[in-house]
Amino acid sequence: MNTGIRRVVCIAMIVTFAMTGVQLFARGQAQQPQPAVTADGAAITTLRVGALFPQTGGMAFGGSNALQGTQIAVELFNETNPYGITVELVSADAPDPATGTTGVRQLITQQNVDVVMGTFSSAVASATAPAAERLNVLYVETTAWAEGITRNTSNVLRTTISSGSLGAAAADFILTGLAQELGVAEADIRVALVFTDDEFGTSIADAAVGRIQSSRARLVVRESYPAATTSDLSSVLLRIQQERPHAVIHIAQVPDGVLFWRQAQQLGVDMPAVVGVGGGYGQVEFARPLGTNADGIFNVVPPTSGSINVDSLTPAAQNLLNELQTRVTQRGWTQGPYTDWGFMGAWVFLNEIVPNAASTSIADMMAAAANVRVDALDSITGFGFEFAGVNHENSGQNLRAIPVVQQWQGGQLRVTYPHELAVADFVNVPLPPWSQRTQAIGQ
Amino acid sequence: MQLVLQIVANGLLIGGLYALLAVGLTLIFGVLRVVNFAHAEFMMLGMYGAYWLWSIYGLDPYVSVFLITPVVFLLGVAVDRLVVQRSIGKPDVTVVFATLGLSILLQNAALTLWRADIRSVSTFATGSVFVVGGVRLSVAMTVSFAAALLFALGLWFFLTRTMYGKAIQAVAQNRRAAALMGIDVKRVYLFTYSVAVAAAGAMGVLVAPIFTIFPRVGQTHIVTIFVIVVLGGLGSVPGAVVAALLVGIIRAGAGFLIGTAWGELAYFAVFLLVLIVRPQGFFGRRGAEVYGG
């Protein structure tokens, strides 16, 4: 490198460091909580919220849904404005961890947001939540499930479920409700576990393995694969065919979920029960190409307005849901599960935490969150809100976010387990073998 | 034994899908000396074409392939004129960024036009299988496999048995000498690039009943395809086919024996081994990556 270029590079580096330093200093100054009590008693008058979701790339579909839910929650809050607080929403794209980390830094240091809300992707959240922590900003996770997001962090409030509870719930269901339905004793049940090898998939899988290994059941297949580059799942299906498990837990996104089933049919791999966990099995895009062959496939998921009996919700929650649905329809958007979770997470944060916080500091927000108690029937998603305290191993986790087991029935997802929350009985348990199916996938 | 045959059959069929993409990519590299990072995006466009013609007009992909392939060919003509030929002869980094930029442009154009929704095409072929000697073969995969082999054979015949094919080979060997012999090099580039991306588009249509469709679907395959092209020998059409089938079998075999996650590792291990022993790949010439005149 010649001297001139070296000098230019040195100057550029010094300028970059200097600018970063100035920004961080300015941020530190701005970070000092400045409570200003409103007429309604709220300490915060204006709140800038950074919305960090994937809007491009492979996760854009779910990420956009979550962002849309967040936007509507903020819009509704500002219109009703019950506490004299104005919320300003600034969004940034987070298609991958690196871009997300840049996005969170820009939101905090350049856009001066008081809180970051995200993220849809566990892989992205695992990078962006610590980035926000380093800049002393609260991170509200409404839609990503990886267990690690609320572990060893002090700045995360998660309104949705954790993957640990999902994996454990899937295994629990197999060992109890499903085993009973199949007429198999726990000691005899064989389980196969197939999962994507990312943070999201492995964290669910680890919890499921822990639960299975603490029982008398046997884990006969444990296979992971890279979701982003997988174009063939025949080898894992042939292993399932050899081991003949009673139930398969499949942690998947939509493309690999559909591929799994299309190849299962091609290879004639019969599985008595398949329990999907994660985003893929809960999407219409998963069930549609499978046609009636989707009937009987399970999905473990936090409940949504689409899967519960909404008539049982309180009138206030029903009105909220109607408002969300109207606005989604007006804009030509699609209301998916992530719309619900993004909306309700943001709504609870804005209505239950922000008005009761002394300032926007993490400590004050966490203190306000510790007092939140929202009943399941007051929530459009069907699960309530109560956040784990700072001494909990998952501090900031919503302890009332409990998964349910849904089943695809006639193109609809219906809650079938636990029985006290079920809106439908089981169908196709065990799943009919391919030789008895009248409609092939795709016909 | 039947299990082994099933694994080999699965590997061969998936290898056939890779082959159709890899043959076009290696052809572009062999003739134009351009690493076409946007190659898999033409497959994605073919998949979307198949989806729209199927969902709006009910056209089966095996019919629409004859409509979509010429359209992708014409798109290839436009891209070659506007992007590729303008970057040839410039520093290597210019060519890399031109095709990489094109890849990102096409992905985001698809995202803007058709959103990130995951779509799928379901035809009679999607769930259909036929059984040969106890081995179950997917109709859709077998059709794609046959198309890949036919394309590779046809291309090999064209390159070795026709005057224009020989002109393309001459350009691949030394573009300046070929120009001096009266060959219209730019036209050869145009034809080669367009045929190669049209093959990628055709593959997209043919695999539409198998894979789901979304803007980044091409990225699912592109790393594997690059490995295949280098493994087979840069610029070698037979090499690309052999390497594609081999990668398919290794992936399926290792995936079954030691785990799906290891399948990818296994073919990368073979890839590194071959590069150490035979850096030019199976059928490649030493120095093929160097600009020939």
Polymer length of chain A: 443
Mode of pairing for the β-strands spanning A298-301 and A404-409: antiparallel
Task: Summarize pLDDT for B18-41 with one digit per residue, the tens.
Answer: 998 999 999 999 898 888 999 999
Tell me which residue of A416, A351, A417 sits closest to A380, measured CA to CA. Answer: A351
Mean per-residue pLDDT of chain A: 88
Cis check for the bond before A97: say yes or no (omega within 30 of 0).
no
Q: Parse chain A into domains and list their residue ranges.
A: 33-161+312-378, 164-301+411-436
CATH of domain A164-301+411-436: 3.40.50.2300
DSSP H or E stretch at residue A255: helix A254-267
Using the beta-carbon criterion (under 8 Å), do A225 and B261 form an inter-chain contact? Answer: yes
CB neighbourhood size of A12 (10 A): 10
On chain B, the residues whose CB falls within 8 A of the CB of A281 are: none
User: Which secondary structure element, helix H or strand E, spans residue A51, and what is its range?
Assistant: strand A46-53
Reported as type and span, the H/E element at residue A236 is helix A234-243
Mark yes or no for CB contact A442/B111 under 8 Å.
no
Same fold? A33-161+312-378, A164-301+411-436: yes
* Alpha carbon of B218: minimum distance to chain A alpha carbons (Å): 9
Q: What is the pLDDT of residues B220-234, one digit of tens each?
A: 889 899 999 999 998
pLDDT digits (tens, 9 = 90+) for A388-436: 998 888 899 999 998 999 999 999 888 998 887 788 999 999 999 998 8
B5 Cβ contact list (under 8 Å, min separation 6): B133, B134, B135
Q: Nearest C-alpha of chain A: how many angstroms from B90? A: 22
Structure confidence at residue A122 as a pLDDT band (50, 70, 90): confident
CB contacts, 8 Å: B115 with chain A: 60-61, 64
Instruction: Tell me what ipTM this predicted complex has.
Output: 0.90
Instruction: Answer whether A224 sits within 8 Å of B259, measured CB to CB.
Output: yes
The Cα-based distances of A277 to A258, A264, A274 in angstroms read 14, 18, 10
Task: Answer whether residue A9 shows pLDDT above 50.
Answer: no
- Indicate yes or no: CB of B120 within 8 angstroms of CB of A235: no
Q: What angle do CA A217, A218, A219 make, to 5 degrees?
A: 125
Q: Do A238 and B122 touch (CB under 8 A)?
A: no
Pairwise CA distance, residues A264 & B136, whole Å: 11
**Environment class of B56 (CB within 10 Å of its CB; exposed 0-12, middle 13-18, buried 19+):** exposed
B contacts of A224 (beta carbons < 8 Å): 259-261
The CATH class given to the A33-161+312-378 domain equals alpha beta
**CA quadruple A29, A31, A34, A35: dihedral, nearest 10:** 180
Give the integer Cα–Cα distance in Å for A422 and A309: 9
Residue type at A29 in one-letter notation: Q
Residue A430: CB partners within 8 Å, gap ≥ 6? A182, A272, A273
Give the gap in angstroms from C-alpha A288 to the nearest C-alpha of chain B. Answer: 8
Q: At residue B54, does pLDDT exceed 80?
A: yes
In chain B, what are the domains? 2-277 (1.10.3470)
Query: What is the residue type of A370?
Result: A
Q: What are the tokens at B37?
A: 């990072």
